[in-house]
Structure 1
Amino acid sequence: MEIRHLRYFVAVARHLNFTAAADSLGVAQPPLSQQIKDLEAEIGTALFERTTRRVALTRAGEDFLKQALAILDRAETAVQRARSIGAGTAGILNVGLTGSVLTGPLGRAIQQFSLSCPDVDLRIHEMSPDRQIAALKSGQTDVSFLRTPPQDVDISSELAWRESVRLVLPKGHALSSKKVTLADLRNESFVFLRLQDSLFAKYLWQCCFEAGYAPRVTHQAIESASLTSLVAAGLGIAIIPEFVSKLAHQDVVYRPIAGPPIRADVHALTTGAANALARQFVALVQTLAGKEPRTTDRPQRR
């Protein structure tokens, strides 16, 4: 039994006339009659009572009509949903991120995307950078947002938004009212993002090394926002992304770092099988960030 058999049956049931049903379907009447006979043979019971004067549904035909209409309706719904998913207006979108990137335009993009695409189930997966890469490559997520993308031939990266960094100092720190370069921090104790799973942390470490020293790290954290609390507790100073510094804390001060720019740019990562929903969402983030989309096939480690 095929969908076309159900369509043929419904047409005859509605018209109760094989010739009129054939005309509505755009097929010849003899093949239509044969298709109905084949359907009845497959089911094992008559669906129509036929005389030379009239065609009527049997009791089995009346019940089968209800089921056939429901099946055709579900099939049409499936087709429309598949088209919507292909067009990026329905489906499930799994987004991998760290909490710190929500302080930028990403949070606003999630809100706007949810309002403009109510048939999309956007799911946030907060995880460490190394887990984000694994989830993306395994298909558990559709797109991830990271500050320093990996060099991986299986992953495409494009700039989502540009972002600088800020120095976090305890309130009253001797450097809190001075112009500070990275080299000025050589004697300070740092609280740092966890080096083993963050390329961004390794990038910051390399910036310090190029300034003439290896930072003395007292504590490490997974999230940039956590570093502010550690600084407030007097456990060291920190370098955090600019947007994270918008989360005010009464016991710290935020300062720019003079000298060569240190970047905390956020990149959108997808695999080669990036779906329409992921592409649409990334484009929205880029639009809200005020930049034109730009794709690089091979991400550059900073």
Structure 2
Amino acid sequence: MDLRQLRYFVAVARERNFTRAAETLHIAQPPLSRQIQLLEGELGVPLIIRKTRPVRLTEAGRLFYEQSLQVLGRVEQMLAATRRVGLNQNSVLSIGFVASTLYGGLPSLVRKLRQHAPELDIQLLEMVSVQQIPALKEGRIDIGFGRLRHSDPNVIGTVLREERLVVAIPKGMSLAQDASPLRVAALAGQKVIVYPKEPRPGYADHVLNLLHSHDARPAEVQEVREIQTALGLVAAEAGLCIIPASARQIRSDVHYRLLDGKDATSPVILNHRVGDNSNYIDLVKQLIEEMYAEDPPWLDLEHNLLHRSLLSR
């Protein structure tokens, strides 16, 4: 498998037609079809249903299309950043993050970074917590914002806060008729939607372990890839979903209730390599301290049990 095959596949998936895809790629159709066949042969699964007009992607094809877009986008970022650094135009700071941190402090932090270090080329890479540790050790990212504690001796993990969890409930359910905190045990027998589906372990396992510890066995568990999908299914009355409190702003057409209990939280953790003496790591820590001192709305006491940075400890 090579980047050319990914670009060919993406073109077919976008155009939904081999002839038009070949025209956009400025190649003949037979070699395009041959490369897609080779790609499917290597993967061992069909990606495209050719009998329909326009052609359609299989389930595997849809997943591969999404991943291909991310890979090709990252390659373009890598090429551009490498050229800039090679020309002494920018320094690069790569930040890995879990999606839910976008609804807390990450956007504010990035804005502050751009103001204090305009020479920085900030690369933002969405990756789940379990992916961030190897990415740090391999140098693919410089810092990470995740939600899973770890014990890797090569990576320093600092818990910035413990964010309370809320349960998203379809508005038509009886549980949605009350706004008071809800016991985790009250979720027993409900259909529960968790994310991300993979890789594991991840936030989904954190939620399932919480339910298990309170003897709240779900009637059914549905796994999805993203928090946006999970909340969309809640709005469609397919089940309940437990999310960090700051992510409530994603949708307003579902009802949210805080979960009661000191263990009904999710940590926000800053990770970076041991021995990384970059001035930018120190700057990030300084800006986080300043940001927390400003008491932004997403850091309110009601939704954060531990609401101050631990960087100074």
TM-score, structure 1 normalization: 0.63
Indicate the residue corresponding to 2:78 in structure 1: none
Once the 2 structures are TM-superposed, how far is the Cα of residue 206 of structure 1 from its aligned partner? 1.5
Distance 1:123 1:247 in 2: 23
- Give the equivalent residue in structure 1 for 2:273: 271
In structure 1, the partner of 2:311 is 294
Residue of structure 2 equivalent to 1:166:
166
Displacement, 1:287?
2.7
Structure-2 change in CA distance of 1:222 and 1:268 (3 Å): farther
C-alpha separation between the residues in 2 aligned to 1:199 and 1:124?
20
Instruction: Write the distance in 1 (CA, Å) between the matches of 2:235 and 2:261.
Output: 25
The letter for the 2-side match of 1:132 is Q
Q: Following the alignment from structure 2 to structure 1, what is the Cα–Cα distance between the partners of residues 225 and 238?
A: 16
Corresponding position of 2:287:
284
Match of 2:28 in 1: none
**How far apart are 1:119 and its partner, in Å?**
0.6
Distance 1:198 1:103, change over 3 A: farther
* In the alignment, structure 1 residue 208 sits paired with structure 2 residue 211: yes
Q: CA deviation at 1:192?
A: 0.4
% of aligned pairs identical? 21
Cα 1:219/1:292, change in 2 over 3 Å: closer
Given the superposition, is the C-alpha separation of residues 217 and 284 from structure 1 closer, same or farther in structure 2, using an over 3 Å criterion? farther
Q: 2:151 is paired with a residue of what secondary structure?
A: coil
Instruction: Give how far 1:185 is off.
Output: 0.6
Which aligned runs of 4 or more in structure 1 are off by greater than 6 angstroms? none
Greater shift, 173-182 or 183-192, is seen at 173-182
2:136 is aligned with what amino acid? L
Aligned-residue offset at 1:198:
4.2
Shift in CA distance, 204/264, structure 1 to aligned 2, threshold 3 Å:
same
Q: From the superposition, tell whether residues 224 and 91 of structure 1 become closer, same or farther in structure 2 (CA, over 3 Å).
A: same
Which letter maps to 2:311? R
Measure, in 1, the Cα distance between the counterparts of 2:248 and 2:172. Answer: 17
Kindly state the Cα deviation for residue 216 of structure 1 after the two structures are TM-superposed. 4.2
Residue 290 of structure 2: SS of its match in structure 1? helix
Write the distance in 1 (CA, Å) between the matches of 2:280 and 2:160: 16
Listed as ranges, the matches of 1:101-180 within 5 Å are 101-178=101-178, 179=180, 180=182
Instruction: Please say if residues 165 and 242 of structure 2, whose CA atoms lie closer than 8 Å, have aligned partners that are also in contact.
Output: yes
2:30 aligns with none
- Higher Cα Rg: structure 1 or 2? 1
Whole-angstrom distance in 2 between the partners of 1:243 and 1:225: 13
In the TM superposition, what are the counterparts of 1:197-236 in structure 2 within 5 Å? 197-236=200-239
Contact 1:158–1:294 (CA under 8 A) maintained in structure 2: yes
After TM superposition, the structure 1 stretch with the greater mean CA deviation from structure 2, 270-279 or 137-146, is 270-279
- Contact 1:268/1:282, CA 8 A, preserved across alignment: no
Gaps of 5+ in 1: 1-77, 82-89, 297-302
- Structure 2 CA distance for aligned equivalents of residues 150 and 166 of structure 1: 24
Deviates more, 1:225-234 or 1:183-192: 225-234
TM (norm. structure 2) is 0.61
Aligned to 1:34: none
Separation in structure 2 between the aligned mates of residue 202 and residue 135 of structure 1, nearest angstrom: 21
CA distance in 2 between counterparts of 1:225 and 1:166 reads: 15
For residues 257 and 215 of structure 1, do their structure 2 counterparts lie closer, same or farther at Cα, with a shift above 3 Å needed?
same
1:172 match: secondary structure: coil
Using the TM superposition, give the Cα deviation of residue 113 of structure 1 relative to its aligned residue in structure 2, in angstroms.
Answer: 1.0
Q: Deviations over 1:110-150 (max 9, x none)?
A: 01211221111111011222322221111100000011222
Classify the secondary structure of the residue corresponding to 2:259.
Answer: coil
The CA distance in 1 between the partners of 2:111 and 2:122, in whole Å, is 10
Q: What residue is the counterpart of 1:11 in the other structure?
A: none
- Is 1:160–1:286's contact at 8 Å kept on the other side of the alignment? no
Deviations 1:88-128 (A, max 9, x none): xx721000012211110111110121122111111101122
C-alpha displacement of 1:219: 2.0
Displacement of 1:217 after TM fit? 4.3
Please tell me whether the aligned partners of residues 231 and 251 of structure 2 are also in contact (alpha carbons under 8 angstroms). Answer: no
Does the 8 Å CA contact 1:160/1:289 hold for their aligned counterparts?
no
Taking a change above 3 Å as real, the CA distance of residues 191 and 292 of structure 1, as seen in their structure-2 partners, is closer
Cα distance between partner residues in 1 of 2:158 and 2:220: 31
